[in-house]
Amino acid sequence: MEIKVFGPGCKKCEITEETVREAVAELGTEATVIKVSNVTDIAMAGIMSTPAVAVDGKIKSAGRVPNKDEIKSWIQA
């Protein structure tokens, strides 16, 4: 599983990345968490507002900080 966290480095983006990593660790899931901070790469992914999270290429959230339970549901789906 590949989880991408999109964001240029703002506080909300950092919180989102940290929450995603915590959710992965708590579930014991094998997942690669990738932080995408290059603005061009973010735009090419179709992200219009950050932070954003994509799981296996599907955008699950954009423009807000998702909570840990929400992230866990995406991982378990």
Give the CATH number for residue 26: 3.40.30.10
pTM greater than 0.85 (yes/no): yes
In a domain, 59, yes or no: yes
Catalytic option among 3, 13, 52, 71: 13
In a domain, 75, yes or no: no
Whether 77 is in a domain gets the answer no
Residue 74 belongs to some domain of the structure: no
Q: Which residues of 6-35 are buried (b: 16+ CB within 10 A; e: fewer)?
A: bbeeeeebeebbebbbebbeeeeeebebee
Active site residue 76: no
In a domain, 33, yes or no: yes
9 is catalytic: no
Q: Encoding tokens for residue 2? A: 């590949």
In a domain, 76, yes or no: no
CA distance 23 to 44: 26
Q: Which of 2, 8, 9, 10 is flagged as catalytic?
A: 10
Per the structure, how many domains does the chain have? 1
| Model pLDDT for residues 3-48, shown as the tens digit of each residue | 999 999 899 999 999 999 999 999 999 999 999 999 999 999 999 9
Q: Which domain holds residue 34?
A: 2-69
Task: Classify residue 53: in a domain, yes or no.
Answer: yes
pLDDT tens digits for range 8-19: 989 999 999 999
